[in-house]
Structure 1
Amino acid sequence: MVVRRGSRCGGSRVVTSVLTTADTERAARFGFIISKQVGNAVIRNTVRRRLKAVCAELLSEVPQGTDVVIRALPASATASFADLRVDVQRCIRRLAQPVVA
């Protein structure tokens, strides 16, 4: 649902989709899509672990009740941790703006 209905921001290594819900009591949630086009299981798991670490760093910047899905593109297999952080950080800062009531 996040990928279909949320706002999307693309880069050369990842595509980030963000959907803000009305449930502000719930902590932000993150999901990852890493297909076999990225690489074998070892590479996919490395990319997933890096993305999880990036999201843990950015958790304080994401408002509560927000769902974030990050789809890794094949270029993410050769990207460094810093490169992935830059892509994800740029998209989250652009898309996950807190809702002002």
Structure 2
Amino acid sequence: MLARPNRLTSGDDYRAAVRRGQRCGGPRLVVSVLPTSAERAPRFGFIISKQVGTAVVRNTVRRRLKAICAEVLDAVPVGTDVVIRALPASATASFAELQADVGRCLRRLVPAGSGSAD
């Protein structure tokens, strides 16, 4: 799972990533990526509204997205903020479908050859 330094916690950080970041969308997700000049680990945030489903469904989607982001952590550059908004179709998507959507968007938005400097 994602460690605390890899999570967005501030509403201002969410707003900045969604408003100023580059977007990639699909039928299940919208991914916003905002590169910053900060020397810190990449951070991920999740927006999952009640339109996705009941609390159980929303938490399942969130857990899946957190696991996917933990897998791709090394491919995201240092100082990058990523916000993933789950759309209602994500409720019925499999783990593999969500994984493919996140991977496609990150490949499109994150410059090639730039990973974290661990």
Q: Give the TM interval when normalised to the shorter protein.
A: over 0.9
Within 1, Cα distance between the matches of 2:17 and 2:76? 15
Which has the bigger relative contact order, CA under 8 A and spacing at least 6? 1
Within 1, Cα distance between the matches of 2:106 and 2:78? 13
The two structures have a TM-score, normalised by structure 2, of 0.81
Question: What is the CA-CA distance between 1:83 and the residue it aligns to?
Answer: 0.2
Within 2, Cα distance between the matches of 1:96 and 1:47? 23
List alignment gaps of at least 5 residues for structure 2. 1-15
Within 1, Cα distance between the matches of 2:63 and 2:31? 16
List alignment gaps of at least 5 residues for structure 1. none
2:30 aligns with 15
The two structures have a TM-score, normalised by structure 1, of 0.94
Question: Deviating runs (4+, > 3 A) in structure 1?
Answer: none
1:81 aligns with 95
Within 2, Cα distance between the matches of 1:58 and 1:94? 14
Question: What is the CA-CA distance between 1:67 and the residue it aligns to?
Answer: 0.1
Question: What is the CA-CA distance between 1:94 and the residue it aligns to?
Answer: 1.0
